Structure 1
Amino acid sequence: MAASTWRKVLNTLQIGNDYTVKPAGLQWRSNTYFIVATVAMGMFTDMLLYGLVVPVFPYMLRDRIGIPPDRLQSNVSGLLAAYGAAQVVSSPFAGLLADCMTTRQAPFLLGLLALLGATSLLFLGQTLPVLMLARVLQGISAAFVWTIGLALCLETVGPENLGKTIGSIFGFISVGNFAAPLLGGALYEKAGYPGVFGLAFGALALDFIMRLLVIEKKVAVRYDSKDTSPVDYNTISDDQHDGTAEARQADDEEQPLLGSKDEEIASFKLSNDQSKLARMIPILPCLADPRLLTAFLVSLIQGLLLGNFDATVPTVAQEYFNAGSLKAGMLFIPVGVSDLLFGPLFGYCVDRFGTKWVSVVSYTYLVPVLVLLRLPHPGGIDQFYLYGGLLALCGVGIAGIGAPSIVEAGVIMEKYYAANPDHFGEQGPYAQLYGLSSMAFSAGTNVKIGDVPRVRHANASP
């Protein structure tokens, strides 16, 4: 009895690997909604902690380190660039590492450990190199969270449900992304550093608990493999847990009368004569596929758009409306709310109608809306509301471009995996895939054209 209890404790903590004894809470811990909520919480925490400290950086550099006022902006830009560069460089390695491990949970927790270290260094750091190190760790954490989180989503819900899942997650985290700077500035004014980092450590604690509790679908199935009755994991079958069977069934049902499934699989077959580097990094041969490269390009453009909203909106708010940090932060709220409301809807459309039309319509819609951002000019509250309304319309388009690139890349890689299971191994190539996608997205977010609006604003001023 004592030995059985001890094995149950170890399995509950996911330390043991005795699959004859089920861990406590197996069913709800491996439930689809809980897994997706854990991924969403991880991404939300990453975005929250990224934005929470941005308005505090100038005060850190001035009060703690003694940076002179004329060097504050360049050093703040350096801290922001350190985060982006670390995420760009780390994302492919995070994907490769995750695909080499038997479960996603260990690298997922590793990313959180890096984020905890980064937050602690930001809270306690007294020199510029320490703050730089903190931002590098924060970028590494973001690489692990986004890469492994997206791979875990695909493996949990399958490609046929990925669109609405990603749309819902992106809508949720966009609120944290756009509200975090506003919240960080307000907390710093009211409670100083303890207020800002108290919220940060609270979010980390909740994130850690959820990541520790989650049990992946494919791990949960091992505990039930010898049961005579199947376990209902929110209508997700065991084959879906591997992210292949139902997608193949859907492809069979939609297959045209001319042509066969075998011919389609053959078109994704890779040569058996692969280089040593391709065997070490299995996704490399797939990068010759123009559809996959297009999906990465869409991720890059999406990041470019979002990154430049961060760069230009505060500038416009200050130069046009003489707005402080609080009022400038309020302008991000319409973007986040639109994304929250329309993200799941566009995600459903991606699952229902495919990625092509949703992305084409969304980007086409964004062209005139972005052009209309030239309409606001320096003025009173009416111009402030006009600018906020246009940002809300931009948020609708942003909600439409969130899911297509991720879903399209996943669908293409599903076909490569189905045609070449031995090449990719048991874990598949999904973490590597989303590592490259995360690299493209984060590269886009760090390409700022913040100086362009300044020229336009100056010309527009009376």
Structure 2
Amino acid sequence: MAPDNKSPPWALRWRSNTLFIIATVAVGLFTDLFLYGLVVPVLPFMLRNKLSIPQDEIQSYVSNLLAAYAGASVVSSVPAGWIADRTNSRRVPFLSGLAALLAATIMLALGNSIAMLCVARVLQGISAAVVWTIGLAMILDTVGPQNLGKVVGSIFSFISVGELMAPVIGGVLYEKTGYSGVFGVAAGVLGLDFLMRLLVVEKKTAAKYDIDLGPDAQNEEQGAQGDYEATRDSAEVENVSNHEQTTERDALIPNKKLEDDDIYRIRHEPNKIVRTFPILICFRSPRLLAGLGLAFVQASLLAMFDATIPTEAQSLFGFTSLQAGLLFIALDVPYLILGPVAGWAVDRYGTKLAAVVGFGYLVPTLILLRLPSDNILPGKSNIILYCALLALNGVGLAVIGSPSVVEASDVVGKFNQANPGFFGVNGPYAQLYGFNSLFFCAGLTIGPVVAGALRDGIGYGNMNLVFALISTITATLSFFIVGGKPSWNHIFKI
């Protein structure tokens, strides 16, 4: 029966459809990254032509404006999650994030002072924190933990196009059409995003009018947000016989269930800070810290490619901004195609395998990026080699796209199950994704700064060697921490 005898919203069935909710979140994340990157190549011209900033001061102002965005995202992520976990609907804060982005875009288009541009970038940063935090929480509410990797992998594949191509598109639009073309495209993307966010209806809201429109039956039976253990156990039952579970699994990991309960159960009364921000209790698990660390390294690698491909292409091949932008296709296509497959593998085989294989695979592919700089092949052959190496790296980026989110969600889900009611009705998931956004934004900020300094200081090849070393360390830590301690069960799980 409908609540308060009200009629159900118009077109409730398709507005609460799982695919429409996923598409809405994906478009929201795409819009955030696309608009962020779209104005980056335009900022120096705005500062010089509209604000008459001296040429020798432009780089400093651009860096400060980028820092304002990143700083606002980092500061806003956790509060956004805290608020979202204490509201009845995630849709309202999701819309508020778009309002901040709309205001920021208008201020950038009309800005005639440094202060206005700075405020605009801060609003963009706040919007990013909200959309990432609320969006990922809505995805978990909708698909449940057992499908999280596949969905997140698909979404990351889609939004990577916006992240990597937006700066090039912005530069081309500004060159061909000026400010009007850049902000006209921005307005079109914002319009689509606004329409979808306005129409979307959450599963739990739809269920008040029609129980059949609630979360999927499998999520209802398992308790969509709480019963992570039951979900994963049922997945194992499908692939391993009961006899094998009671012999091999128990022999290799004795009393695993009891140990897990002890690890995740809260036995002492938390202090006031933890009661206010209950997600903090989950940080006693090294797996959560490792999962967030994966997000940081993943974002750093994405930002490294974004920052160095155009400059390296110009230096090596004399490419224009448009030609350099086309190189991103080689990186994007494998990411776009393989992201959903890699996400499915995370759901099927676990986070440890994906993290170890993904970051381990990136070690040689990053090192090999030094070959074009050594000019081992003549002319166009060297360009083809660079494209091929970028494509190989795109495969690795696809594999590491979802383990961080799935690992962190799994840990927090186990805390939520072991301590019923401690985290409130909505659970701690928006708070978790607030921290995930914080670490991811920190990676997007630090990655290009470190990459640029290393490229200028020790060269492009050695810069990639440093990032390969970081990937090596990440893969090693993933083997020992991500997904729990390594065991024969993990090794032979496939």
State the 1:262 CA deviation. 6.2
Structure 1 contact 147–435 (Cα < 8 Å) conserved: yes
State the 1:402 CA deviation. 1.0
Distance verdict in 2 for CA 1:151–1:458, change over 3 Å = closer
Q: Distance in 1 between matches of 2:313 and 2:82?
A: 42
State the 1:237 CA deviation. 4.8
State the 1:317 CA deviation. 1.5
Listed as ranges, the matches of 1:423-462 within 5 Å are 423-447=422-446, 448-449=449-450, 450-457=452-459
- CA deviation profile, 1:171-194 (whole Å, cap 9, x unmatched): 011111111112111211221111
Distance verdict in 2 for CA 1:458–1:367, change over 3 Å = closer
Amino acid at match of 2:351: T
- CA deviation profile, 1:127-160 (whole Å, cap 9, x unmatched): 1111111111101100111111111111111111
Listed as ranges, the matches of 1:47-62 within 5 Å are 47-62=33-48
Distance verdict in 2 for CA 1:455–1:210, change over 3 Å = same
Q: Distance in 2 between matches of 1:253 and 1:397?
A: 26
Structure 1 contact 239–246 (Cα < 8 Å) conserved: no
Deviates more, 1:51-60 or 1:252-261: 252-261
Q: 1:41 is matched with which residue?
A: 27
Q: 2:363 is matched with which residue?
A: 367
Residue from 130, 137, 157 that aligns with 1:144? 130
Structure 2 contact 16–202 (Cα < 8 Å) conserved: yes
SS of structure 2 residue aligned to 1:270: coil
Listed as ranges, the matches of 1:329-344 within 5 Å are 329-344=325-340
- CA deviation profile, 1:187-230 (whole Å, cap 9, x unmatched): 112211111101101111110111111111111111125xxxx4
Structure 1 contact 56–185 (Cα < 8 Å) conserved: yes
Q: 1:314 is matched with which residue?
A: 310
State the 1:318 CA deviation. 2.0
- CA deviation profile, 1:329-386 (whole Å, cap 9, x unmatched): 2222211111101101100100110010111001111001000111112674332222
SS of structure 2 residue aligned to 1:424: coil
SS of structure 2 residue aligned to 1:425: coil
Amino acid at match of 2:299: G
Residue from 91, 109, 116 that aligns with 1:130? 116
The count of residues paired between Structure 1 and Structure 2 equals 442
State the 1:92 CA deviation. 0.8
Indicate yes or no: 2:74 matched with 1:88. Answer: yes
Q: 2:477 is matched with which residue?
A: none
State the 1:273 CA deviation. 0.6
Which structure 2 segments of 5+ residues have no match? 238-244, 463-494
What RMSD over aligned residues (CA atoms) do the two structures have, in Å?
2.2
Q: 1:281 is matched with which residue?
A: 277
- CA deviation profile, 1:402-455 (whole Å, cap 9, x unmatched): 100100111111111111121100010001001111111111111122121234
Identity %: 51
Q: Distance in 1 between matches of 2:362 and 2:42?
A: 32
How does the TM-score come out when normalised to structure 1? 0.90
Indicate yes or no: 2:253 matched with 1:251. Answer: no
How does the TM-score come out when normalised to structure 2? 0.85
Distance verdict in 2 for CA 1:219–1:458, change over 3 Å = closer
Deviates more, 1:450-459 or 1:68-77: 450-459
Q: 2:467 is matched with which residue?
A: none
Indicate yes or no: 2:404 matched with 1:418. Answer: no
Residue from 158, 161, 169 that aligns with 1:183? 169
Q: 1:394 is matched with which residue?
A: 393
Deviates more, 1:68-77 or 1:348-357: 68-77
Q: Distance in 2 between matches of 1:281 and 1:456?
A: 43
Q: Distance in 1 between matches of 2:207 and 2:280?
A: 31
Structure 2 contact 143–219 (Cα < 8 Å) conserved: no
Amino acid at match of 1:367: V
SS of structure 1 residue aligned to 2:372: coil
Structure 2 contact 143–215 (Cα < 8 Å) conserved: no
Structure 1 contact 217–241 (Cα < 8 Å) conserved: no
Listed as ranges, the matches of 1:108-257 within 5 Å are 108-225=94-211, 230-231=212-213, 237-239=219-221, 242-245=224-227, 248-251=230-233, 254=236, 256-257=245-246
Which structure 1 segments of 5+ residues have no match? 1-10, 12-16
Distance verdict in 2 for CA 1:82–1:303, change over 3 Å = same
Q: Distance in 2 between matches of 1:389 and 1:127?
A: 44
Q: 2:475 is matched with which residue?
A: none
Q: 1:350 is matched with which residue?
A: 346
Q: Distance in 2 between matches of 1:233 and 1:268?
A: 26
Q: Distance in 2 between matches of 1:459 and 1:276?
A: 50
Q: Distance in 1 between matches of 2:214 and 2:119?
A: 45
Amino acid at match of 1:41: V
State the 1:322 CA deviation. 2.0
Amino acid at match of 1:384: I
Q: Distance in 2 between matches of 1:34 and 1:22?
A: 18
Amino acid at match of 1:453: R
Q: Distance in 1 between matches of 2:232 and 2:358?
A: 26
- CA deviation profile, 1:94-132 (whole Å, cap 9, x unmatched): 111111111111110111011001101000001111111
State the 1:459 CA deviation. 9.7
Amino acid at match of 1:298: L
Q: 2:489 is matched with which residue?
A: none
Q: Distance in 2 between matches of 1:249 and 1:70?
A: 58
